[in-house]
Structure 1
Amino acid sequence: MDTDILAVLQRLDFTEYEAKAYLALLEKAPLSGYAVALNSGVPRSKVYEVLGGLEKRGVVLVNHENTALYSPLPPQQLLAKKKRYAEKCFSIAEKTLKNYPVVLRHRENIWDIKGSGAIINKAEEIIDRARHRILLEICPEEAEIVKKKLKMAANRGVEVTIVALGEVSLNFAHVYSHDSIDKIYAEYGGRWLILSVDDKEILAGIVSLGAESRAATTTHPGLVMPITEEIIHDLYIGEILKKHRDILEESFGPDLVNLRKKYNMGPEAVKQWLSIL
């Protein structure tokens, strides 16, 4: 008997004995209870109890003659029945649970996320919750992955604004380029992502270190506000450079490199940051 099919049936709410009895009937039916026991491996002492349970659920049909004979519900009908039941349960749960207050005791905790895949998955989950505005600093590699989710958000009326850490082209979003990307990657040890949704929820971290990538997410206003303002600050700089690049670069060097040298994290701070990752 195929153990994979047995496992699938058990995930569909069959016990092991019920799954074995049902498969035996699919292979050869109708069968008496005694024959089901012989063909399925279900103990004779248990087979009528097992078949009775399947009969109550409509999974087997019984012809009550001198010797009761059992036949299985065809697989297509079984699966359609299971699907209808699951959809009904989800519908009832959806209607019932929405009447309960949402109690999020840990809502404002700071959650640590490890691994680039987990970080991207969390970013997409947060993007799905957006209703008004998405602010995002992102590199081309990660932008390509989350592009579909961002477009879906834009299609439902969310304003999507990107600070592109490299060449990013998204025709449904407002995209602003961030200067000195290569220098920044070198300083901070890789690519990062900063996301703010509806000014209520943020995700920030480094995403290019595979399993060693680290990020944090929270709805704590004490962190949401300054991190959202960090993205807005970079948007300010982008707008100002568009209008007055020549004047600013004359004072502060190409891509304002002299300002970066003056205010960026020192080598010891960067070393400590990378050691944590």
Structure 2
Amino acid sequence: MLQQFGFTQYESQVYQALITVDEPLDASAIVKRSGVPRAKVYEVLHRMTEKGMILESTVEKKRMYTALPIESTIEKLKADFEDNVEQLRNAQIKETPIDDRVWTLKNNQSIQSLLKELLHQAKDSIIISGWADDLEEYLPILEAKSNEGLSVNIHSIGSLETTIPSVSTLIPDTHHETLERSRILIIDEQEMLFAGIEETKWQAIRSQSRPLVKFFTEFFYHDVALTEITQKYKTQIMEDQDVRDVLLKLRY
């Protein structure tokens, strides 16, 4: 019952034994109802009392126990969780030297959370590319950063409604068979994140490596340049079979 909230199995068993009976119990009764060994039960009861999860009283020289009511327990767990989150948020962040290692990350939610965190950390410039329906999630942060005076450059696959002036938009053609979902983020010309889909799952790399930051910056402007060229000379390109085939094989 309580293990998913960080309690031990014995603590959970003791709480469940107490909450499911409408009367106080002594240690012997708790052992019978919970299955916790007698040699461990007093230690567990002491911990649960210290955590405020059970109440204790002495009746006729016998120590009796009862559980904190369910609704009170829920409120306590919520409050404890919020306190832990706040402590984590206020934890001192130590300054570290440039980390040129390449870190990998899986799971789309984790990648999105990290991307947002990096956006919040940006102080001078942001370069970001992705699909419009994906980029929309980050627009509030991007527009706020742009309003603060940061240089924000976006390359969007699909139309994106935004007040940010520097947006390059590629409207996919039916012939773009190799066009893949991906995200590129470079902040302050110092750190990059690249995410793509491999075997239906999102995976990402993150690094402050100068060569990689430079490579993905140039890769971003490569996409922007191809987009502008394709839009400006679309008629000529589509009429030239060789040129069209080469362009449509590119990732952008």
Aligned to 1:221: 210
Cα distance in 2 between the residues matched to 1:96 and 1:164:
36
- Please state if 1:197 is matched with 2:158: no
Q: Please say which of residues 169-178 and 55-64 is displaced more in the overlay.
A: 169-178
Aligned to 2:100: 108
After superposition, give the CA deviation of every residue in 1:136-191 in whole Å (9 maximum; x if it has no partner).
Answer: 3333xxx31341123333235465433233x32222444323378555x34x5645
Cα distance in 2 between the residues matched to 1:113 and 1:46:
41
Superposed counterparts of 1:11-90, under 5 Å: 11-28=4-21, 29-66=23-60, 67-90=62-85
Superposed counterparts of 1:176-195, under 5 Å: 176-178=168-170, 181=173, 185-186=176-177, 188=178, 190-195=180-185
Asked whether the 8 Å contact 1:190–1:208 carries over to 2, the reply is: no
| SS of residue paired to 1:203 | strand
Asked whether the 8 Å contact 1:109–1:220 carries over to 2, the reply is: yes
Runs (5+) with no aligned partner, structure 1: none
Shift of 1:64: 0.6
RMSD: 4.0
Aligned to 2:128: 136
| More helix per residue | 1
Cα distance in 2 between the residues matched to 1:124 and 1:196:
15
Asked whether the 8 Å contact 1:136–1:193 carries over to 2, the reply is: yes
Asked whether the 8 Å contact 2:139–2:162 carries over to 1, the reply is: no
Q: Against the structure 1 CA distance between its residues 69 and 230, is the aligned structure 2 distance closer, same or farther, given a 3 Å change threshold? A: closer
Runs (5+) with no aligned partner, structure 2: none
* TM superposition score normalised by structure 1: 0.66
Q: Against the structure 1 CA distance between its residues 201 and 43, is the aligned structure 2 distance closer, same or farther, given a 3 Å change threshold? A: same
- Please state if 1:147 is matched with 2:136: yes
Cα distance in 2 between the residues matched to 1:123 and 1:55:
40
Count the aligned residue pairs: 241
AA of the residue aligned to 1:35: A
AA of the residue aligned to 1:80: E
Q: Percent identity?
A: 23
Q: Against the structure 1 CA distance between its residues 124 and 261, is the aligned structure 2 distance closer, same or farther, given a 3 Å change threshold? A: farther
| SS of residue paired to 1:223 | helix
* TM superposition score normalised by structure 2: 0.71
Cα distance in 2 between the residues matched to 1:177 and 1:47:
66
AA of the residue aligned to 1:254: Q
| More strand per residue | 2
Q: Please say which of residues 151-160 and 15-24 is displaced more in the overlay.
A: 151-160
- Please state if 1:122 is matched with 2:116: no
| SS of residue paired to 1:149 | helix
Shift of 1:124: 5.3
- Please state if 1:168 is matched with 2:159: yes
